[in-house]
Amino acid sequence: MNKTIRRTAVFSLLLVLALLVRATWVQFYDGKALADDKKNRRNAIEQYANPLGNIIVAGDAITGSAQTKNGDLKYKRTYTNGSLYAAVTGYSSQVYGATQLEGIYQDLLDGTDTQLKNPLDALTNKRADPGDVVTTIDPDVQKAAYQALGGNKGAAVAIDPKTGKILAVVSTPSYDPTEISTSNDSVWEKLRKNSDKPLVNRALRQPLPPGSTFKLVVAAAALEDGLYSDVDEKTKSPLPYTPPGTTRVLPNESKSAPCENATIRVALQYSCNNVFGKMAVDLGQDKLRAMAEKFGFNDKTQDVPVRAYTSVYPSGMDKAFTALTGIGQYDVTATPLQMAMVSAAIANGGELVSPHMVSQTSDADGNVLKNYDDNTSTKRIIDSHTAEQLQSAMQTVVEDGTGTNAQISGATVGGKTGTAQHGENNSKTPYAWFTSYAKSDSSNKEVAVAVMVEQSDAARSEVSGNGLAAPVAKAMMQAALKD
């Protein structure tokens, strides 16, 4: 064989090898990427070729599947009381994707989750029968929150302090996921462009200044640090109080409230800004941040299992701004979930059980794949004595303070109101907050709640945590405690 022929043969062999490598790459790497591409229509055709699994509330499916009348997608997603449960389920759309539980458990609900496959299915790559997602939601508490919020823009969360089960997640205004389960561009654009943002889950994914509800965290830090020994010890709180580095007085809502050197109990009862602004400065931002982070602030991995947006306690402040954080202003932000966690930990003797809104997942035959109720974690946030002190002070708020609208016959209720400033120089309508817990006097039932009303038809002078948010919390707590 002469040199020219040998070189040609070697070159041809290299070309064949290159083609084999490329073909293998396309088949096993690019092929998977193309198959998984969201724009691949065959994925949607396969996903909606059969009914999906369901999301369950109290034993009943709140989702379903219905046959379509035309097109290449055989089934579409349907929802029972879609607007009521939208903040829980999210949506599963043939066009717009999936969110919330629908998105997190998409593989389980459409039968592609490897947990559902038996050895033969795994070998043949056959799609298994879909599984179900069983939630912790209590329909009575969910309905109570939704109805009580009414036409207001806001959100509410309820948690069982002993188990961490989330009993309600409500965001208003809401939307019906059924309307966007198929291609409906007019409805989608209307929802997307709506200034009230109905697609935003305000309960989990919109942190806002928590106002005076954050004073519970400040009080916990003061008691744990030893700055004050109990909630009935007089504080060192001048009135008026001017934070260091500024000439601007930190005002109180009520000019007649007994806030000068008030105890923590009285300061919570009347929501004295001078007490908690001074307390924040005395503690310092580092100690306050440490306590806030124990409750869950600054946690970027807060999954319930939906990823909640991070509630924030800031850093790098001067003393004047630190004073503002003591009353839940400046750059302090919190979700209703976060403030419900604060009340839950206090109600549970200082221990926070990890909140979750999925109880278990199961296969088509009802066999449990994962039990989330048995996999909760518990961490001590504050000493049990501190928790008892704060419970007592929160009860005073409801019995004879700013939270009287949350009183429930036959139950012990503790709470804290908040009215957070909104806009430059408080030019916009404030946010109304209320966080609380309730324990039945006749059973072992208890619940922790947080409610935020972002906007309402009430006159600005009538916007308060007690006036707008406390009645919502009361309705939720009554629903949770009833036999």
Identify the pLDDT of residue 426: 60
For residue range 85-112, list pLDDT tens digits in order. 999 999 999 899 999 999 999 999 999 9
Q: Respond yes or no on whether the N-terminal peptide bond of residue 139 is cis (omega within 30° of 0).
A: no
Four-residue CA torsion sign, 378, 389, 418, 251: negative
For residue range 174-227, list pLDDT tens digits in order. 999 999 998 889 999 999 999 999 999 999 999 999 999 999 999 999 999 999
Identify the pLDDT of residue 254: 87
- Calculate what percentage of the chain has a pLDDT beyond 70: 90
CA distance 255 to 481: 37
C-alpha closest to that of 277 among 236, 334, 230, 224: 236
Of residues 45 and 64, more confidently modeled:
64
Q: Is 280 helix (H, G, I), strand (E, B) or coil?
A: helix
Identify the pLDDT of residue 339: 98
Q: Please give the full DSSP string across 295-306, using - where no structure is assigned.
A: HTTT-TT-BSSS
The band of 125, judged by pLDDT with boundaries at 50, 70 and 90, is low
Averaged pLDDT of the chain: 91
212, 343, 359, 362: the catalytic one is 212
Identify the pLDDT of residue 26: 67
The band of 27, judged by pLDDT with boundaries at 50, 70 and 90, is low
Identify the pLDDT of residue 338: 98
The band of 121, judged by pLDDT with boundaries at 50, 70 and 90, is low
Query: What mean pLDDT is predicted for residues 68-88?
Result: 90
Asked if the structure places residue 449 within a domain, the reply is: yes
For residue range 343-389, list pLDDT tens digits in order. 999 999 999 999 999 999 999 999 999 999 999 999 999 999 999 99
Asked if the structure places residue 472 within a domain, the reply is: yes
Of residues 290 and 35, more confidently modeled:
290
Identify the pLDDT of residue 3: 72
Asked if the structure places residue 157 within a domain, the reply is: no
The band of 455, judged by pLDDT with boundaries at 50, 70 and 90, is confident
Asked if the structure places residue 296 within a domain, the reply is: yes
Identify the pLDDT of residue 429: 73
Q: Looking at the predicted structure, is the pLDDT value of residue 33 above 70?
A: no
Asked if the structure places residue 120 within a domain, the reply is: no
Asked if the structure places residue 293 within a domain, the reply is: yes
Identify the pLDDT of residue 128: 85
> What are the start-end ranges of the H helices in 350-458?
384-400
Half-sphere exposure of 295 (CA within 13 A, CB side): 33
Which residues span the domain enclosing 451?
204-361+372-481
Q: Looking at the predicted structure, is the pLDDT value of residue 32 above 60?
A: no
Four-residue CA torsion sign, 420, 335, 343, 277: negative
Q: Looking at the predicted structure, is the pLDDT value of residue 467 above 80?
A: yes
For residue range 258-294, list pLDDT tens digits in order. 999 999 999 999 999 999 999 999 999 999 999 999 9
Identify the pLDDT of residue 214: 98
C-alpha closest to that of 98 among 66, 60, 53: 53
Query: What mean pLDDT is predicted for residues 166-170?
Result: 98
Q: Domain of 463: which CATH number?
A: 3.40.710.10
Number of domains in the chain: 1
Asked if the structure places residue 153 within a domain, the reply is: no
Whether 456 is catalytic is: no
Query: What mean pLDDT is predicted for residues 161-177?
Result: 98
**Across the strands, what pairs with 92?**
98
C-alpha closest to that of 241 among 261, 221, 271: 261
**For 135-139, 414-418, 461-465, which range has the lowest pLDDT when averaged over its residues?**
461-465
For residue range 7-17, list pLDDT tens digits in order. 777 778 877 88
Query: What mean pLDDT is predicted for residues 130-158?
Result: 97
Identify the pLDDT of residue 20: 78
Asked if the structure places residue 354 within a domain, the reply is: yes
